[in-house]
Homo-oligomer: A and B are copies of this chain.
């Protein structure tokens, strides 16, 4: 009888065309499904908590799938980590309730975006940061980051091609949103009920414009209004600075603890 398995997955997105399987392109979902097919001797469909764009990283993406093979979860984790590329790692693997769905059951997600400020971007960081060695007014950015908190219609921050029929409403709740200076980096951390396609990268685009003095709190107030779908005006920040930090579920649903990060 098939078992429902949930996995927490970390990946360096640099060499992948995003999470979602695509024919003849390397994707995270694709390599995981490929390894599971080797183990289960049949195609295995893997569901994720959401798609991440090409180049976006994850410390703890959550995925689930059905498996016929009776291999214990701990052994399955080891077998998968032997077969997967070193840039994709299964951090944990457990039996899940049959109705567990990593996307529909998620109650919160946290993303982090890193902007490297120093003149030279170290060779050990460039895959994971957006290098921006030009003046930015941090207090202006903090002001905007703070105003993003709450329930808003984020249509103006969605990707132009956002047209998923399951996602008619563009209203999302942001529980926390803050940017701080840590060493040579600015780190933007945002936790919310869910995020539209490109939304975090578009929020960072606006934060960068705010830091340059080109986007004011009034501009944001005019933007976070139902019906406003014109793009907020800034560029979508590069994918490589973005990392999915954690996905949260209610304890009754999954028992997954928020991984320590």
Contacts and interface: CB of A to CB of B under 8 A. Distances in A.
Interface of A: 10-12, 57, 81, 86-91, 120-124, 126, 128
A81 B123 contact: no
A89 B120 contact: yes
A89 B81 CA distance: 32
Contact of A89 (B12, B88, B121): B121
B87 A122 contact: no
Given A81-B120, A120-B81, A126 B90 contact: no
Given A81-B120, A120-B81, A126 B10 contact: no
Given A81-B120, A91-B120, A120-B91, A86 B126 contact: yes
22 contacts: A10-B122, A10-B123, A10-B124, A11-B123, A12-B123, A12-B124, A57-B123, A57-B124, A81-B120, A86-B121, A86-B123, A86-B126, A87-B123, A87-B126, A88-B123, A89-B120, A89-B121, A89-B122, A89-B123, A90-B120, A91-B120, A124-B128
A76 to B, nearest CB: 13
The 8 tightest CB contacts between A and B, nearest first, are: A12-B123, A86-B126, A87-B123, A89-B120, A89-B123, A11-B123, A10-B123, A12-B124
